[in-house]
A and B are shown apart, each in its own frame.
Chain A
Amino acid sequence: MPTELENIKAEVKDLNFYYGDVKALKGVNLKIPEKKVISLIGPSGCGKTTLLRCFNRMHDFYTNHSHTGEIILNPEGVNILDRKIDPIEVRMRISMVFQKPNPFPKTIFENVAYGLRVRGVTKRSVLLERVEKALTVSALWNEVKDRLDQQAFNLSGGQQQRLCIARALAIDPEIVLFDEPTSALDPIATARIEELVSELKKEVSILIVTHNMQQAGRISDYTGFMYMGELVEFGDTDKIFTNPKEKLTEDYISGHFG
């Protein structure tokens, strides 16, 4: 478990989530330490993506769901699931990278600048500086610096995903959510993204959902195993993979099901 010495960036408290009558999350409690990588693993339908999408209120766009419990975002200690909290405020601080690269039908530059533009930044010099920084951090700058005005769709799948990461970073988020960011990519592109995630934790807290257990083992400091809507076990990645406390976790990790 995260030690008391670490700063806790966010904390999930007794979170239950329902799609209609179906209970998708059952009493989840989870602490997200600052500037660490936390992986959520588990078989399909275990609720890991549902949990991830609670962090930036992505469920708000769909009907017929409800929840009880809280996600507290520090340092203010606000419950970001509170209806009174504007979801846009939440998304201004917690950004997300999706499963499939989803660049916008715009130029490379405008894709990365998008988050700044929706925040009302119009000064060209500021945009340029932030875009360059985000692209540098996401290890794409050298590949695209001469063609920032080209359409983002011309990039390869792996480049598109790094562009989406740059887009998510350009707004200086406090937490970045990754929803299976490499499942649509080839092994080389995957390796670059993994490298990138390990670099990023110097700056932000990272919560990553992955189907790939090796990936969780490689990149995360803490791992949570979810099954049927419950967070079965959560702890140091090394411990989870070498010496899990729960039988269920061990069975999943050793490939008995899932």
Chain B
Amino acid sequence: MFKLTDHQSSNSKKMRLKSSRGFSARIYEKIIEYVLFLAALASVFVTLGIAYVLISESIPFFKVVSIIDFITDKQWTPLFADAHFGIRPLLAGTFVTTAIALIVAIPVGSVIAIYLSEYAHPRAREILKPILELLSAIPTVVYGYFALLFVSPLLQKIFVNMTGFNMLSAGIVMGIMIIPYVSSLSEDAMRAVPMHMREGSFAMGATRLQTSVNVVVPAAFSGISAAYILAVSRAIGETMIVAIAAGMQPNFTLNPTEPASTITAYIVQVSLGDLPHGSIGYQTIFAAGLTLLLFTFALNIAGHFLKKKFGERY
């Protein structure tokens, strides 16, 4: 009987000790949780803040220029006496340079990813991957004059009548710049495909190429598509290369050998100028920025759904 009470009391003492320690630990955990939550919230607030500024500054613009004109007008001459506010020339420039960049980056990046993930000896991969990633460490301004002073003259040997400023060279160089985004992320996705999946294919007598193309790439498709989406976003948002090498004239054309301005290049041009606050010319950059945001936002959502639809299937 005595023994039992002793046991009970020591037990309850232990319990109390344990629960008081648990209490402070729980408080501590809660604090940590809130700090982390605030950190996460900060990025949400910044995004919302940017959206707020873009929208609130665009409203006065759209009071002067109707959305219909903004979308349908074929000229973008906000700083001329005869001002036109059609976003389509800028969109065309953005579209053409982005398309060229993707035509370069997606095939090359994907092939590199397949090589690194499925073929390369581990030592070769260890050396090649960091070198490749260096491509994205080069400042974009350097890419810009590389496009203008090296790639353009080279291309002019093929397209003799092409001007020095053109979308083609800007797009190609932008493509080179985003190769590592495509290859690195795609390779990570492909390497995450479990070995037993590959072995299943090899055991059926498949070659490395058949295994890569028929099994590994489909299995890693969600990661690969995320890489592609990131590449598109990166190309749409890229500023410096197109500002330097594509020429800054808004030009409603899909011909890549012509100079044109993109949304981003236009924003740079106007931001650098001395337009007074509140003027219609000044407000155009917010309308243009909002358009850009809408596009990248749509792409992110598309990426999200792609990822959901083709979630990792292994």
Give chain A's interface residues, CB within 8 Å of chain B: 56, 58, 61, 88, 91-92, 95-96, 98-100, 102-106, 114-115, 117-119, 151, 153, 164, 167-168, 171
B202 at the interface (CB under 8 A from A): yes
Question: Apart from A114-B214, A118-B206, what 14 extra A-B contacts exist at CB < 8 Å?
Answer: A58-B202, A61-B198, A88-B205, A96-B203, A98-B200, A102-B197, A104-B200, A104-B215, A105-B215, A114-B204, A118-B207, A119-B205, A167-B200, A167-B204
Q: Is the CB of B201 within 8 A of A58?
A: no
Sample (27) of A-B pairs whose CB atoms are under 8 Å apart? A58-B199, A58-B202, A58-B203, A91-B205, A96-B203, A98-B200, A99-B196, A100-B196, A102-B194, A102-B196, A102-B197, A102-B200, A104-B197, A104-B200, A104-B215, A104-B219, A105-B219, A105-B313, A114-B204, A114-B214, A115-B205, A118-B205, A118-B206, A153-B313, A164-B200, A167-B204, A171-B205
Residues on B with C-beta less than 8 A from A105 are: 215, 218-219, 221, 313-314
Q: What are the residues of chain A within 8 A of B205 when measuring CB–CB?
A: 88, 91-92, 95, 115, 118-119, 171
Number of interface residues of B (CB under 8 A): 21
Residues of A within 8 A of B204 (CB): 91, 95, 114-115, 118, 167-168, 171
Most A C-beta atoms less than 10 A away, residue of B197, B198, B207? B197
What B residues does A99 contact at CB under 8 A?
Answer: 196
Q: Which residues of B contact A91 (CB under 8 A)?
A: 202-205
Q: What is the CA–CA distance of A96 and B203 in the complex, to the nearest angstrom?
A: 6
- Measured between beta carbons, the chain A residues less than 8 angstroms from B201 are 104, 114, 118
- Say whether, besides A88-B207, A118-B207, A151-B313, A104 and B214 are in contact (CB < 8 Å): yes
A95 CA / B203 CA spacing, docked (Å): 6
* CB-contact partner of B218 in A56, A104, A118, A119, under 8 A: A104
Chain B's closest residue to A106 (CB) is: B218
Main SS class of interface, B:
helix
- How far apart sit A88 and B201, CA to CA, in the bound complex (Å)? 11
Residues of A within 8 A of B200 (CB): 98, 102-104, 164, 167
A223 to B190, CA, bound (A): 39
Please tell me if B255 contacts chain A, counting CB pairs below 8 Å: no
Asked if B210 is an interface residue, CB under 8 A from chain A, the answer is yes
Q: How far is the CB of A60 from chain B (nearest CB, A)?
A: 9
Encoded as 1 (CB less than 8 Å from any A CB) or 0, chain B from 166 to 208 comes to 0000000000000000000000000000101111111111110
Chain A residue at minimum C-beta to C-beta distance from B200? A102
- A185–chain B nearest beta-carbon distance, Å: 15
Task: Give the nearest-CB partner of A102 in chain B.
Answer: B200
Which residues does chain B contribute within 8 Å of A88, judged by CB atoms? 205-207
With both chains docked as a complex, state the minimum distance between the C-beta of B203 and any C-beta of chain A, in angstroms.
4
Shortest CB-to-CB span from B223 to chain A, Å, is: 12
From A102, A114, A151, contact of B199 by CB (8 A) = A102
Q: How far is the CB of A141 from chain B (nearest CB, A)?
A: 20
